[in-house]
Structure 1
Amino acid sequence: MGNTATRDDFEWVYTEQPHCSRRRQILAKHPEIKSLMGPDPQLKWVVTAMVLTQVLCCYLVQDLSWRWVIFWAYVFGGCINHSMTLAIHDISHNVPFGNKEAFRNRLFGIFANLPIGLPYSISFKKYHVDHHRYLGGDGLDVDIPTRLEGRLFNSPACKVLWLILQPLFYALRPLVVNPKPITRMEVLNAVVQLIFDGLLVWCWGPKPLVYLIAGSILCMGLHPISGHFIAEHYMYAKGIETYSYYGLLNFITFNVGYHMEHHDFPSIPGSRLPLVKKIAPEFYDSLPQHDSWIRVLWDFVFCDSLGPYSRVKRTYPLPKDK
């Protein structure tokens, strides 16, 4: 875990991210991994089933009391919605239809966005590209907390509050760290979402919409599945900026736990990431890894050396459009 002193700055490094060089090494030794790249048509059917499940749930909750609406939002609906955000992550990598069908992938992402209740998919795609290209990049990677977050949320109670407010920080941080112009596809995402939300309220009243939005916010905050937000890139071992998790929750999160493998090979769908580790175990077995997302959250809150500052940062030459 490193020392017990509270961090007062990020871990600044002056080397390139490790994923590029490891990718070259792995492909040199295991060129057959290239066969795992490409679309996974099954994803669109899984996502469609999840959307329809949430629409059915919206119908079922319309007559429940408010406390049961919130209960089921946290226990069930929010889990599906958090899983859907990770499906949107795969969609942002063009998994459903392949790289040659970018527009169809964006439209499908808007469809997958419907149960989340708030427009998200297109904006996520816009910034997620930078997260891979400029991992840890100062002013570029909006997955990195701001200095204000690092200074304010460094005690156990404050870190719990920070975890609860994760959805808010993920929504607002890009506007502060790396603001970009709103695109037409983002407008379309918002309009389609507004129409869907309006139809829910018109057909079944406000409870279905509260069920969806509350579930999205609650389960992206303090929730076992949300352990992946911290597990992926927070520095639990000094200088190590990406970690994998190989536990059971991968089955409902599109294998996002295979995060080291994902950053090494972002063009491989989540469904095939376990095969990367199976083919090239010598590159992954010895790396630091997590065995529980709940334990990740516990350690993050109660270990003094962990907090929003526990991230590796580096500088990149700014893109020409910055």
Structure 2
Amino acid sequence: MNGISVTANGADRTHVERRKLILEKYPQVRELFGKDPVTFKITAAIFVGQLVIAAILGSLGLSYWWLSLLMAICVGAFANHANFVIIHDAIHNCVFDSPLANKWTAILADLPNAFPTAMGFRCYHIKHHSHLSAYDYDADIPSRWEVEWVGNSAWRKAVWLFFFPAIQLARLSRLKGTVPIWGTWTYINIGVIALFDLFVLWAFGPNALLYLFFSFWFSVGGLHPLSARWLQEHFAFGPDQGTFDYYGPLNTLALNIGYHNEHHDFHEIPWNRLPDLKAMAPEFYDDLRCHRSWFALLVTFIFDPTYSLGTRSENVTQAAREAPVIAPAE
């Protein structure tokens, strides 16, 4: 099943249409909707694990910064990346029934980042769903200055990926119609993270905090294979598909974030039930192109001049000329 459907403002409506078709054919998909409190237990376990590692590294002193870097790349990045997925599910209220409990779950998952991200993410992520690929609303779309500066240069694409955490933050100023970033919960998020960072410094020393920051950085950017997720999700690797899945071995550690078409079709389904959705309605997903390796995608994107940051925007423009999603053949 191929084709992208867009609105007049450039928003990709493919997922809305496919959702409707799936529900018409498989109404039992609604049984997958709901909450998964087990996710909170995973959050708590990651928090404790990251704090223990940070404490051990902190006891070694700042001269072991290199070990903090190595541990962050090999262990911490995967832990913090899983926490980002938990933040994502909490923002969609897929952990608890209570919106308040979901907000605090997101903040708990944010603590090992040593940098406040959860509530800022909450402010713009819903627009990413409702206005997917629309430049003025979707923070996942590269800003025009990014597209112009990076071009299809390999070294500039590598620099862009390395500094992606900071670049993503810089995009927020261009967005329209989002929830105001500087709200009560953003201040709470900042305050809690600041107090936690001060505690880590006081209790374990600077190398502990450095480990947590490295873990945050390489979970999102830093040319870590995990950073290829930002390429996998919506960069155009074909003219007639706007969202791509990742079905590789790291999905287990990444809490199924690779099931991205499935998530955009049904954001009410928690992360651990997304494979069930694909199994329930396979004909809607099996023919979509997907990625099997984040590392291979990372290397391809950097060194293949065919791909640039403009690929994402160009795909949406071209999508306006494509046919909308149609139901797959029986």
Calculate the TM-score normalised by the size of structure 2. 0.88
Q: Partners in 2 of 1:212 and 1:172 — Cα distance?
A: 22
Q: Partners in 1 of 2:203 and 2:226 — Cα distance?
A: 31
1:85 aligned partner, one-letter code? F
Q: Partners in 1 of 2:155 and 2:213 — Cα distance?
A: 25
Q: Partners in 2 of 1:89 and 1:33 — Cα distance?
A: 21
Q: Partners in 2 of 1:133 and 1:47 — Cα distance?
A: 27
Deviations, residues 190-215 of structure 1 (Å, cap 9, x unaligned): 00000000001011111111110122
Deviations, residues 160-188 of structure 1 (Å, cap 9, x unaligned): 11110111111111123347340000000
Q: Partners in 1 of 2:288 and 2:80 — Cα distance?
A: 31
Q: Partners in 2 of 1:249 and 1:16 — Cα distance?
A: 27
Matched, 1:255 2:228: no
Structure 2 equivalent of residue 301 of structure 1: 302
**TM superposition shift of 1:242:** 0.1
Q: In 2 relative to 1, CA 256–152 (structure 1 residues): closer, same or farther, beyond 3 Å? A: same
Q: Partners in 2 of 1:223 and 1:103 — Cα distance?
A: 33
Structure 2 equivalent of residue 187 of structure 1: 187
Q: Partners in 2 of 1:181 and 1:246 — Cα distance?
A: 33
Matched, 1:150 2:147: yes
Matches within 5 A, 1:126-141: 126-141=123-138
Deviations, residues 90-125 of structure 1 (Å, cap 9, x unaligned): 111111103xx1111111111111101001111111
**TM superposition shift of 1:58:** 1.4
Q: Partners in 2 of 1:108 and 1:242 — Cα distance?
A: 27
On the 8 A contact 1:138/1:313 being kept in 2, the answer is: no
2:17 aligned partner, one-letter code? S
Structure 2 equivalent of residue 320 of structure 1: none
Q: Partners in 2 of 1:72 and 1:282 — Cα distance?
A: 41
- The farther-off stretch of 42-51 and 67-76 is 67-76
Deviations, residues 62-86 of structure 1 (Å, cap 9, x unaligned): 1331211211122111221122111
Gapped regions of structure 2 (runs ≥ 5): 1-7, 320-330
Structure 2 equivalent of residue 32 of structure 1: 28
Equivalent residue in structure 1 for 2:104, among 104, 107, 117: 107
Q: In 2 relative to 1, CA 121–15 (structure 1 residues): closer, same or farther, beyond 3 Å? A: closer
Matched, 1:284 2:282: no
Q: Partners in 2 of 1:284 and 1:61 — Cα distance?
A: 44
On the 8 A contact 2:34/2:268 being kept in 1, the answer is: yes
1:292 aligned partner, one-letter code? S
1:158 aligned partner, one-letter code? R
On the 8 A contact 1:58/1:211 being kept in 2, the answer is: yes
**TM superposition shift of 1:87:** 1.4
On the 8 A contact 1:110/1:189 being kept in 2, the answer is: yes
Matched, 1:234 2:232: no
Structure 1 equivalent of residue 118 of structure 2: 121
2:245 aligned partner, one-letter code? S
On the 8 A contact 1:13/1:313 being kept in 2, the answer is: no
Q: Partners in 1 of 2:59 and 2:204 — Cα distance?
A: 9
SS in 2 for 1:252: coil
On the 8 A contact 1:258/1:273 being kept in 2, the answer is: yes
SS in 1 for 2:116: coil
SS in 2 for 1:140: coil
Aligned length: 302
SS in 1 for 2:255: coil
Structure 2 equivalent of residue 9 of structure 1: none
On the 8 A contact 1:146/1:177 being kept in 2, the answer is: no
Deviations, residues 31-67 of structure 1 (Å, cap 9, x unaligned): 1110000101110001110001011111110133121
On the 8 A contact 2:11/2:132 being kept in 1, the answer is: no
Q: Partners in 1 of 2:90 and 2:11 — Cα distance?
A: 30
Q: Partners in 2 of 1:300 and 1:52 — Cα distance?
A: 35
Gapped regions of structure 1 (runs ≥ 5): 1-11, 316-322
**TM superposition shift of 1:310:** 1.2
| Structure 1 residue ranges (4+ consecutive) displaced by more than 6 angstroms after TM superposition | none
- The farther-off stretch of 136-145 and 168-177 is 168-177
Q: Partners in 1 of 2:10 and 2:59 — Cα distance?
A: 57
**TM superposition shift of 1:13:** 8.6
Structure 2 equivalent of residue 5 of structure 1: none
2:132 aligned partner, one-letter code? L
**TM superposition shift of 1:88:** 0.8
Calculate the TM-score normalised by the size of structure 1. 0.90
Structure 1 equivalent of residue 159 of structure 2: 161
SS in 1 for 2:311: coil
Structure 2 equivalent of residue 41 of structure 1: 37
SS in 2 for 1:115: helix
2:74 aligned partner, one-letter code? V
Matched, 1:18 2:17: no
Matches within 5 A, 1:11-90: 16-64=12-60, 65-90=64-89
On the 8 A contact 2:11/2:134 being kept in 1, the answer is: no
On the 8 A contact 2:136/2:175 being kept in 1, the answer is: yes
Identity across matched positions, percent:
33
Structure 1 equivalent of residue 271 of structure 2: 270
